[in-house]
Amino acid sequence: MNDRLHIFDSQACKGDGLCVDVCPHGVIEMVGEIPATVVDRAESCISCGQCVMVCPTEALRLQTIPEEHFERVKSLSFGFEQFHEFLRARRSVRMFKDKEVPREDIDKILKAAATAPMGFPPHTTEVLIIDEVSELKFLLEFLVNHYDGLLKSFSNPIGRMFIRLATGAEIYGELRNHVVGFATKANEDYRRDKTDRYMHGAPAVMIFHANRWTTSYEENAHLVCHHAMLAALSLGLGTTIIGMIPPVVERSKVLRSRYGIPKDNRVLTSLILGHPKYRYRQGIRRDLAGVQFNCTAH
Ligand SMILES: Cc1cc2nc3c(=O)[nH]c(=O)nc-3n(C[C@H](O)[C@H](O)[C@H](O)COP(=O)(O)O)c2cc1C
């Protein structure tokens, strides 16, 4: 139990009870005019920091979050229309200029990516950035060789049976319906003239991995990746999520050791990024697969 979880400044506190109201786990209560930690609920605190962030007089601190981690936010200077326009401008970019992504841009992208929500704070998603030409080449060659192996196994019934047993019906279907055809063509193109169909010649790749024993680690990593994607767009960069990379890195001892990926981490998603070669002059309307309000039974 932690009776010093919150440190209240009784001089600054106006007794408005906002911190009590906003706490999702009832960890703060009013004791007379002043809030206090509910000691026997202190363990329920998820360190979301909302109690600190709503206080208009900066009258409390949380022992679990350093004071300097709290930053003032400005009111938004754009509305739905501008935000929607921004989202509509995003495309999966697969053609890049021969120009590297500045490390300052990478830093900004990571800073924005870290604003993504997570099941429970703190983040457990880690990001590996590959932006050296020789490392990109190494990874590309590794992908080609890995998928060669998969194609070889897929080319005979016994190999297919083993893959099906090892991966289950869902992943097997995905491999059979999408991956085999794609990798066949990608590897042919690579062998012909070194065309890169896996990472599309991007000057940088981000690989997202997370500790498999942490809450919502898969969703968290995808959200971090998605935030990174939008941040890159705001910097004039183009990105594409690449599903062909994570399973290869995940399974390869060589790559895991080369990249220092902890043994408890799963490799979940990846993003290529660079300066787009072309400007998109049109967007495209996309509809969700289904939308429904409330119950349909009456
Ligand atoms: C989970 C996921 C995996 C993807 N994997 C690949 C991939 O391996 N290679 C690729 O070129 N595009 C990949 N994409 C990009 C999609 O093909 C792209 O989002 C889709 O065609 C829609 O186009 P848009 O992003 O321009 O709207 C992936 C997207 C997602 C969400």
The one-letter amino acid at 296: T
Question: CB under 8 Å to 241, separation ≥6 — which residues?
Answer: 92, 225, 229, 269, 270, 271
Output the CA 94–ligand 1 centroid distance in Å: 10
**pLDDT bucket at 1, cuts 50 / 70 / 90:** very low
Question: What tokens appear for 193 in the block?
Answer: 């003239």
Locate the ligand 1 atom nearest the alpha carbon of residue 244 and give its number: 8
Output the CA 221–ligand 1 centroid distance in Å: 16
Average pLDDT, the chain: 96
Instruction: Please give the Cα distance from 45 to 131 (Å, whole number).
Output: 39
Q: What is the pLDDT of residues 6-54, one digit of tens each?
A: 999 999 999 999 999 999 999 999 999 999 999 999 999 999 999 999 9
Question: What tokens appear for 255 in the block?
Answer: 């790559």
Output the CA 12–ligand 1 centroid distance in Å: 51
Per-residue model confidence (pLDDT) at position 22: 97
Q: Is the pTM of this model over 0.75?
A: yes
C-beta 225 within 6 A of ligand 1: no
Residue 168 φ/ψ, nearest 5 degrees: 90, 165
Q: What is the pLDDT of residues 225-247, one digit of tens each?
A: 999 999 999 999 999 999 999 99
Helix locations, the chain, DSSP H: 18-22, 50-54, 80-88, 103-113, 133-154, 157-167, 169-174, 180-193, 217-234, 246-251, 253-259
Mean pLDDT within 65-75: 92
**pLDDT bucket at 3, cuts 50 / 70 / 90:** low
Q: What is the pLDDT of residues 143-158, one digit of tens each?
A: 999 999 999 999 999 9
Best substitution site from 230, 242, 267 to test ligand 1's pocket, by max atoms within 8 Å of Cβ? 242
Q: What is the pLDDT of residues 119-177, one digit of tens each?
A: 999 999 999 999 999 999 999 999 999 999 999 999 999 999 999 999 999 999 999 99
Q: What is the pLDDT of residues 263-298, one digit of tens each?
A: 999 999 999 999 999 999 999 999 999 999 998 887
Question: CB under 8 Å to 173, separation ≥6 — which residues?
Answer: none
Per-residue model confidence (pLDDT) at position 296: 85
C-beta 242 within 6 A of ligand 1: yes
C-beta 244 within 6 A of ligand 1: yes
Per-residue model confidence (pLDDT) at position 297: 84
Locate the ligand 1 atom nearest the alpha carbon of residue 200 and give its number: 11
